[in-house]
Structure 1
Amino acid sequence: MKTISSTGTIKYLPFAKAQVDRNFKVIETSEVWDMIFINQKKNTTETGQEFAFPANSLEELNKECLEKKQNGEKVIPVVCGEGNLLWYRWQIMPCYDEDGNAQGSYILREEVTEQIRDEHLLTKVQEVARIGGWEIDLIHNNIYWTKTTKEIHEVDMDYVPTLEEGINFYKVGEDREKITELVSRAISDGTPWDTELRIITAKGKELWVHAKGEVEILEGKAVRIFGTFQDIDQKKKADLEYKKVSERLLIATEASQIGIWDLNLRDNSLEWDQNMYRLYGIREKDFSGVYDAWESAVHPDDKEKAQYELQEAIAGNKDFNTEFRILYPSGEVRYIRAFGVIRRDSQGNAINVIGTNWDITELKKTQLKLDYSKESFERAFEHAATGMALVSLEGNWIKFNQNLCEITGYSEEELMMMNYLDLTHPEDRSRDLQFRSEVLEGKRNSYQTKKRYYHKRGHIVHLIVSITGVKNIDGELSHVISQIMDISKLVKAEEHLKSLVEITQSQNASLLNFAHIVSHNLRSHASNMSMLTDFLLKENDPSELQTIGKMLKDASESLNETVAHLNEVVQVKVGGVEKVRSVDLLKKINRVKKNINALLLEKNAECQIDIPEDLRVKAIPAYIESIFLNLFTNSLKYASPERHPIINIKVKQIENGSCTIEFTDNGLGIDLEQHKDKIFGMYKTFHHHKDAKGIGLFITRNQVEAMDGKISVLSKVDEGTTFSLLLNTA
C-alpha cells in the first residue's frame, strides 16, 4: 500500500505523471505531463497542438481503483486541437495514509498510438483477407482460435476446441489424413507445414483453407504449435475450375478438329496450332511463314472479304465472326468458319487477335438441302388462314405470320420484343403452362385449349390455340408450332345470349327486393307520421303545435319524395347499373336524418356526422337513402335502455377511387359469434323487439352490392355496432 508523502515531488520526473487527491483534484504534475495536460484544460503544447484531458473516463477508473484498493490501467483516446486522435495508456495507483484511508492517486501516462494503430490495421487486414490465427499449447493441451478462425469454422465465439475436434473439422479422407500426418510430424520433429486442404464447417459447408503451422521447440521438445488459417474457398474453386476447363478445352479442340490461331498486331506475325495445318490441308515445312500459308489457302474470291471483316473487328466496329472458302492443294473447296477475340491494352489499342477455325463443309451441304424444305414450309406458314407461330422452348417467338399480327394488333417488331405469356390473360396462364409443360416433358405430343390474349388496344381476344411439339433429328424437342384461331365474335354472341338469361333472372329477383323496399320504407314514414299525429292530438301549446305541424309537413314531403324514389327504383331495376349517378353523400344523410327527426327527439339521440361536404359517390339515390334510413332506425330501435343513443357517421378512408363510411352506435350490439353468418340474411332477427322483421339488413346488403359496393359489421354485445360501407367515389 502506497502513502502520499508531503515532501516528495514528481515535478522533475522524466515521464508524464500526475498526483490527484481523493476528489480527483490535481495536486502536482511532472513537467512532461504539463507539456500536454494542465488541470483538465486545453493548453497549447510546444508543437502547437491542443489536447482534451479525458477527465470523466479517468475519474471513473480512479474511483474503481480506490474502491477495490488495487491498481488499474486503461487505454483511452485523446483528440488534439487539429482533430488528430492519439491513444494513451493510463495507469492509476491509489495511495493511502498509514491508517489505510484513501488520500488520492498517482496517474502515469504513456502514448501507445502507433501500437494501437498497428493492432487495428492488422485486425482489419485479417478480416478482409479472412486470415485467422490459432495456437496449440502442448504442455497444457489447450487450443486457442482467433475470431476469424472461428468464423471460418462457423462456430460460436465461445467455442473452445480440443486437438481432436480441430482435426475432425477436416474432410474425411485424404484431407484429414494429411493434416493428422502434418501435426504428428510437427510434434515429433518440429517440421512446419504450409498446405491447402478442405474442411467441413459446423454448419456442414465444405471450404478450401490455406493452413500454415510453425513449431516452438524448448529443450528439444515441441511445446507450442501456432499458425494461420485462411479461407481460400473462392480462389481455390476458381483455380480448379480453370484447370478443368483448360483440360476440357484441349480435349475438345483435339477431338473436334478446331484450329487455334494468334495474330500479333504489333509485328503482324501469325501463329497456328497443328489443327490449323490439318484444316487447311497443308504442311508447316512447306511455308516460310504462317501468314503466307494462310494467304495461299484462302479462296481468291473470299480473301478480301475475310481481311475486311478482320480489320472491322480490330477497329471495334463489329465482332470477328465470319465464313470463307479455302482451296486444298488438290483443288477441293472447303468451307471454314472463323471466330476471333480482340485483346486490347489499357488505352484501348488492339494488341492481338486470338481465334478459332473449324470446317463447316458438311454443314453447308446440309444447309442447301434444308433451304428447299424451309422455303416450302414458309409458303404454307405465311398464307395460312389462321395465326401461325414457331415458339421456342422458353416461350419466345421464333417466327409468326401476318395473321397473328392482325389478331393481336401488334406489329412484327413489337411482337418480337414480347413473350407469348405477355399477351396471355393472367387467369389462363397456369392452365396453359401446365399443358405446355406436359408437351415439353413428353407426356403428350400436342394439345388444344381456349384462352385469351390482350389486344394492343386493351380489349380481350378469345382464341382456340393448338400446340404441337417439333423434334429435331435426335428425337429431342426443339420448339413448338402454334395455330391460333380468333373466336372473339363467337364468344361475344354466347356472352350476349348468357347476359339475356342473367338479366331475366336478375329482374325476377329485383321484383322481390323492390317489394321489400316499398314495405320497409313506407312503414318507417308511417311510423313517423303516426307519432307526430299523436303529439298533435296531445299537445295544447300553440308554439309546440306549430312545431309539430312543421315536422308533420316535413314528414309528408319526405313521404312524397320516398314514393318518387321508389318509382325511380322501378326504373333502376329496368336499366340496372346504368342508373348509378354522382350523389352528394352528406346531403343524402342529412335528408334521412331530417325524415326521422321525431324519432331522434323521442329517443333523446345524439347524432354526430363527419362527412366532407365535397364527397360524392357513385350510387342510386333511392338506395343510399334506404340504406342510411335502415341504419338510423335500427340504431334507435335497438338502443340500450341504460344510456341515451349516440350515432356517429364518419369517413374512415378515401383512396383508389373508393371511400369507407363507418356508421357506429352505442346500442345493444349483436353477438357475432352466434349470428356472424346470419347478419345479412332475410328474416333474421337478433333481439326480441316487437317491430323486428329481419328484412332491413338483407335489403341493405343487396342495395350496397347492386352499386358495386361492400358492407361489413363489427359488434360487441352491450357496447354497440359499427357498419362499414365501401362505396365508389364519383
Structure 2
Amino acid sequence: MDTLPTGFSFKDTPVALAVLDANLRFTNFSNLWFEELTIKKEDISGKFFFDIVPNCPKSFLEILESCLYKPGISTIEQQHIDGEGRSQWYQWRIHHCLDKDEKPTGLIVTTSNITKFKHTKEILIAAENITRIGGWELDLISGSIYWSRITKEIHEVPKDYIPSLETGINFYKEGEHRDKITSLINIAISKGQPWDTELLIVTEKGREVWVRAKGSPVFINGKCVRLYGVFQDIDDTKRLTLKNDKNAEKLRLATTAADVGIWEFNLQDNSVDWDRQMFSLYGIKKGDFSGNYDAWETYIHPNDRNRLQHEFKLALEGSQPLRTQFRVIHPQGEIRHIKANAALHKDGTGKMLKLVGTNWDITEFVNNQLKLNINQESFRGSFESSAVGMSLVATNGSWINVNQSLCKSLGYSRDELLQLSFQDITHPEDLHEDLAYMEEVLAGKRDSYQLEKRYMHKNGKTVHVILTVTAVKAISGEISHFISQILDITDRIEADKKSVELQKITKSQNDSLTNFAHIVSHNLRSHSTNLAMLTQYLTEEEDEEERKSIEKMLIGASESLNETIHHLNEVVLITTGAKGGLHKINLLKTITSVRKNINVLLKEKNVLCEICMNKDIEVLAIPAYLDSVLLNLFTNSIKYSSPDRQPKINITSLSNEDSIIMEFTDNGLGIDLKRHGEKIFGMYKTFHRHKDSKGIGLFITKNQIEAMNGTISVESKVDVGTTFKIVLLSASDKN
C-alpha cells in the first residue's frame, strides 16, 4: 500500500475536502476548503456544516442527510451566495462512511467552484438558441451518433430520439442533397478532408429546411475513428439569399429587356461606374470609357449640358432628387433621348458618398409623343370643325367636351352641356338600351356600338340621332373615356313620319273606296230587289185597298233608299280613318230601320223577329257601316233559314263598361265551324250551296265593324242556328 510523502498532512490535500460526522459536524478538512468557498480560514473542527458554509440552500441539508444512507458517490450542483454576496455555483461530491456494522459514521465531501463553467454553458446555450447551431458526433468504432438538443430541434424529432448513420443521412432531401452529404462523409473518412456545405433536409414533420453542415474527421494510427461537427439552421437566411439572388436575376433580365442601365457616381474620387447596359445606351465600348465624370459629360448634347450640370448640383446638395431627361450623342452622330433618376447615398454621419441612378432610352417614346401631339392637334381641329355632333364622354356619362355642331342640335351652350350627363338629356324610353350597350363596352364584350336614339332638346322637342360610340383606352388597358359621334336625323325622321301618315291616309282611302263599292253593290241591290218586287205587286194587284198598301210600302222603300244613299255619301267623306267618322247612333232605331227596309222579305219568308234591348242604347259607329252590317246579318238569316221550321231572328244587347255587346241569333242552317271556323270571315268564302251566295257579305261586315273599332265573333251549330256577337263602342258620356 502506498504511503503519503513525508511531512504531508490531510490539510495539504490539493482539493477542497472535508470529513463530516453523522451529525454533519466537521472532523477534518483541507486548506483549499476555505479558499474554494471564499470563507475565513479558522479551526472548524466540531462545528456544524451550515454554520461554516453560509447562505447554503435549505434543500442541501436534506440532501446531505439522505447521503448518510445512500451508497456510492452523489454528485450535486448547487447555487450558493458566497461571503461577498456573489452568486456562485458549486459541484459537490459526497460519499458516506460506514462502521464495521455497516452503520453510517459520516460523510466525505469535496467541492469545486463551477461558476465560470456554468456561465460559459449558459452563454453557449444562448448562442445555440440564437444562432440555431447544434453539435453532432459519430463514433465510427461503435457506430453511435450523438445529436445535441438544437440538432434534434432542427430535425424536429423528440428529445429522446436516438439517430443512426443511415437515419441521419436519410433526413437530407432525396436527390442531389442526400447524394452530396454521402459523398462528403465518404471523402472525409477515406481522405481526411473536412466539409462545410449548405443542404436541404426534410424534418420529421415533413418541412424542408436549409442547414449548414460542417464536419471534421479524427484519425488514430491512420484510421478514421470519429466524425464531429456543427449543424446550423440557416433556412430563413438561405431563403432570403435565394430570393435576393432570384430578384437580382430578375432585375438583371428586366434592366436588359427594358434597356435600363445602372450607374454610380463616387463623390470621393469623382469616378463613374457603369453596368454593361450603360455602354449600349451611350453607343460606346467599355474600353473607350475612362470612368470619370468629365468623360461622361462629353457624350451629353451641348444644348442640355448646362441644365444637366445644374440639376446634378441640386441633387448633390440634397435640394431635390435627380429626375431628368437629356440627349446623348453616339460616336456615330446618332442622337438618343435618355431619362435619368438618381438617389443620394450617405454614411452614418451624414457624409455624402455617392449618387446611384438609372438611365433608359426613351427616344421612341419621345418620337411617339411628338406624333401623338400632332395627331391630337389634328383631332382637335376635326372635332371642332366637324358638321357632325361630337363629344368626349366620361365613363360615368358626363360630358368631357362637346363641339358646336352638337350644341346646335341640342339647343344647349357648351358650358350648359358640360354641367350635364348624356343620361340627363336622353329620352327616357331610349336610356336603358344605351346604358346596356355602354356596360358591355366597359365589361370588354365590345369596343364600340351604334344605335338610333332620341335626345331631348333644350326647348323640349325630340331630337332623333344616330349615335356611334367608341371606347378610348389608357396605357393600362382600362377605358378612360368614350368618343361619341352624333348624327342629327330629326328632319329625315319627320319626313318619314309624314310619308307613313300619307301612306296610311292613302290606304284608308283605298279601303274606304273598296268598302264603299261593296256597300253600294250590296245595299243598293237589296233596295232594288225590294223596289222591283213592290212594283211588280203593284202592277199585278187589282184590289184598290191592297194597291194603296203596296204604294205605302213603295214610298217607305224609296225613303230607305234615299237614307242609304245619304249614308253612302258619308262614307265617301271619311278620308283619314274611321275614327273621325264615328257618330252617336241609337242602336234600336237603326235595327228597326233596317228591318223596315227588308220587311217584304221578312213577310215573304214568314220570319219571326224579336228585338229585346233598351231603347236608349247608343253606340259610336258610322251609320252606313252599321246599316250595312245589320242588313247583311238580316239577309243572311233569311237566305240561310231552314226549310224545316219557321225562321226566327232574336236580337239582344248588353252593356259592358265602355262597350255594347249585341247578339244576333237565328235558327237557320248553321255553319260547321270545325271545317270553316278559320275562314268564316274570309273574302269569297261560302259555306252553303245557295244560288245567291257570293262569299263577300261576312268579309265586308268584319272589316266595317273593325273600322268602327269593334269586334265580331260567331257561335254556330249545324241545323241548330248561328249567333253573331258584335261589340261596339258605347256612346254614353262620350262626344
Report the TM-score, using the length of structure 1 for normalisation: 0.48
The higher radius of gyration belongs to 2
